[in-house]
Amino acid sequence: MPAAKILVAQGGGPTAVINQSLAGVVLEARRFGGVERIYGARHGVRGIVNEDFVDLTQETSHNLELVAATPGSALGSTRDKPDLKYCRQIFEVLRAHGIDYFFYIGGNDSSDTVRIVSEEAHKAGYPLRCIHIPKTIDNDLVGNDHTPGFPSAARFVAQAFAGANLDNAALPGVYVAVVMGRHAGFLTAASALGKKFPDDGPHLIYLPERTFVIEKFLSDVKATQERYGRCVVAVSEGIHDATGQPILAQLAKQVEHDAHGNVQLSGSGALADLLCEEIKARLGLKRVRGDTLGYLQRSFIGCVSDVDAREAREVGEKAVQYAMWGQRDGSVTIKRTGFYSVDYELVPLTDVAGKTRVMEDIYITASGTDITDAFRLYLRPLLGSDMPDAYRLRPAPVARVLNRKD
């Protein structure tokens, strides 16, 4: 094997385990004697076009292991969404630096970037191996049973709602929490894995895979409040009406947009506050509280799934193996092979790039406000070991003496 140069980068939202994939690439590449240099691009594709590289060949294995166990993107990330012109600039830099292998860890947009760069290299007759490594807490990459980053974020969401439910049971009222995920409801659905007893919350779960009707929402909340004396609600940031318009845009007087013109769903508590205002104003309920789990979901340092960490490391390792031993570019995917086991497969970039997976109907109840046992069986092994548990007193009532009522 002639002396080879590798470039690895991280794109999109950070996760609790994305650095496991980075370490997997670097440490696995070191096993191949022909690898001369392993570069890391700071802040994703932006760092590539700016030639902002660091030499990871000089990192100690010990420090790489410590970084691997640290959430967030160690190389830095970017929200840039490269078009053809941008990708041509990426390719020009890769060619100028004599890069032989390009690994990009990221989600939907990142996979599309890898696809375009791969096509440009082929057109130019330049021998560049391009591999996309999956990462997204939204769990919306097609071709994957699940994606690294999602299990740890799901673990956080499940535990957050378990705690919110305990708080709400102690001081009953209506509690609404908004969860990330944009157009896929997997992360919001994970809230149900914090339930233990039949009357535990979340009592209602609203997903972007179903049309959100404000009148039905208010009716559901009222019925739940009357049944349990309280109501815990999990809401996806991506809920929308029958026309596809985000509910946030429908309720808010002013809506912030991101750099790509999309309604900014994350980064504020607006949706939770607006829904709480609707409940107060139209149902007349007084104790109504709202939260937005926000960016805590992505890189929470105390809530990493050991299953997620292991698989994130392995997709990085497999990416290098596919690149070194294979004959084609592609995207590494996770395939479930048992309960619980997985295997990995390299699929064509066109199978993944620019596509979005949403929750399958089998995971959503007929009411549209809860998840099925099939989803619980799907998610539970991904959450990892040592999930915390909650218990209740077994009250033995004492007879009243004065017989007063509260």
Question: In whole angstroms, what is the distance from residue 132 CA to residue 270 CA?
Answer: 34
138 is catalytic: yes
Q: Which of 138, 200, 220, 308 is catalytic?
A: 138
Angle between helices 306-325 and 18-29 (to 10 degrees): 40
Question: 10 Å Cβ neighbour count for 2?
Answer: 6
Question: In whole angstroms, what is the distance from residue 365 CA to residue 221 CA?
Answer: 17
For residue 380 the two structure tokens come to 């539970």
Burial class (CB in 10 A: 0-12, 13-18, 19+), 61: exposed
Helix, strand or coil, per DSSP, at residue 2 = coil
Q: Phi/psi of residue 297, each to 5°?
A: -65, -25
Question: In whole angstroms, what is the distance from residue 11 CA to residue 78 CA?
Answer: 6
Helix, strand or coil, per DSSP, at residue 233 = strand
Nearest in space to 168 (alpha carbons), one of 390, 365, 375: 390
Question: In whole angstroms, what is the distance from residue 93 CA to residue 95 CA?
Answer: 5
Q: Are 363 and 374 in contact (CB under 8 A)?
A: yes
Q: Are 185 and 359 in contact (CB under 8 A)?
A: yes
What residues have CB less than 8 Å from 166, skipping those under 6 apart? 390
| Residue with the two structure tokens 């490594």 | 133
Question: In whole angstroms, what is the distance from residue 100 CA to residue 94 CA?
Answer: 8
Question: In whole angstroms, what is the distance from residue 331 CA to residue 256 CA?
Answer: 33
Sheet holding 204-206, edge to edge: 204-206, 231-236, 174-179, 288-292
Q: Are 34 and 2 in contact (CB under 8 A)?
A: yes
- Give catalytic residue positions: 138
